[in-house]
Amino acid sequence: MLSNALIWIISKIINFITSGDGITPGDFENPRGQRPCFGTTQEELLARWKRLDIELRAWYDTVPRSFTPCARSRLFLSNAVPIPRTASAPAAANVATNTTSTDTIDAIIFTVPMCAVTMQTYHMARVLLLTNMPQESTAIRSTARLRSYRRIAELAVRHAREICGISLGGLPDAILPHTVQPLFVAGQCFEQDSERQLVVGLLQQVECDSGWATKYRIQDLQRQWAETRVG
């Protein structure tokens, strides 16, 4: 039931994103020149966003303890790979100590795989909400707006690292296809090459272990990363 409730909330988030500021969801399905020249105010969009944020927070507050990680193990980003489910701990050569957070990432381990992938989906929903938060007003100081953008980017990366950490915790093959979209969304948040390479490696591992195609997602990410470098 909890997983179904989360999917319902994500569906509403996707509807919110795809409808843009159109009065009806179908307004933005038309080509640019044929779209209405009027739409929903920023205040109304922000009110919708806040309602979705409250729903997602309420869902998170109701999850039982089985949705909480049973362990975390800090790994070096440079050679982080998923922990085998038969292993009680990662290889000592890759356990990180006394290093900066930009060099490492936590492998997040759950006792119940379905709980793990559900929490991965939750973090994806958080990223989608954060990166599509409407501005309250354009009539605010530029410094305040820049602080807001930096805070959103920081939180998005934090949730993206949780997504990758859950995949690093070791998941059974049957669960792996459910991780593709969260990993793709996580990859869109990263700017460090080491984090981007981690996402590519995790997606490749999904295809290798489960047979579920991920190459097209890797190509999408690489295309988007190339665009940000050009910009």
Q: What is the pLDDT of residue 23?
A: 56
pLDDT higher than 70, residue 217: yes
DSSP letter (8 states) at residue 69: -
Average pLDDT over residues 218-230: 90
Instruction: Output the six-digit token pair for 197.
Output: 């390479």
Q: Where are the alpha helices (DSSP H) in 35-141?
A: 42-61, 113-131
Q: Are residues 30 and 77 in the same domain?
A: no
pLDDT grade, residue 24 (50/70/90)?
low
Q: 172: how many CB neighbours lie within 10 A of its CB?
A: 13
**Residue 190: closest CA among 226, 157, 219:** 157
Give the residue from 39, 62, 85 where a domain finishes.
Answer: 62
Give the residue from 13, 32, 62 where a domain finishes.
Answer: 62
Percent above pLDDT 70 for the chain: 81
pLDDT higher than 90, residue 31: no
pTM given for the model: 0.86
Residue with the two structure tokens 């969260």 = 182
89-101 tens-digit pLDDT: 444 445 554 445 6
Q: Are residues 159 and 71 in the same domain?
A: yes
Q: Are residues 90 and 144 in the same domain?
A: yes
Average pLDDT over residues 27-33: 60
pLDDT higher than 60, residue 187: yes
Q: Are residues 134 and 188 in the same domain?
A: yes
Instruction: Output the six-digit token pair for 163.
Output: 């997504």
CA distances for 112 relative to 15, 19, 67, 136, 165, angstroms:
30, 36, 8, 40, 15
Q: Are residues 39 and 142 in the same domain?
A: no
122-139 tens-digit pLDDT: 999 999 999 999 877 666
Q: Are residues 98 and 202 in the same domain?
A: yes
Give the residue from 28, 45, 62 where a domain finishes.
Answer: 62
Highest-confidence range of 1-10, 33-42, 162-171, by mean pLDDT?
A: 162-171
* 145 phi/psi in degrees, rounded to 5: -70, -40
Q: Are residues 93 and 207 in the same domain?
A: yes
d(CA 75, CA 84): 14
Q: What is the pLDDT of residue 42?
A: 77
pLDDT higher than 70, residue 194: yes
Q: Are residues 109 and 47 in the same domain?
A: no
69-79 tens-digit pLDDT: 999 999 998 88
pLDDT higher than 70, residue 80: yes
Q: Are residues 129 and 33 in the same domain?
A: no
Q: Where are the alpha helices (DSSP H) in the chain?
A: 2-18, 42-61, 113-131, 142-168, 180-189, 193-210, 215-230
**Boundaries of domain holding 15:** 1-62
Instruction: Output the six-digit token pair for 74.
Output: 């800090």
Question: Structurally, how many domains does the chain consist of?
Answer: 2
Q: Are residues 143 and 31 in the same domain?
A: no
Q: Are residues 24 and 8 in the same domain?
A: yes
Q: Are residues 122 and 181 in the same domain?
A: yes
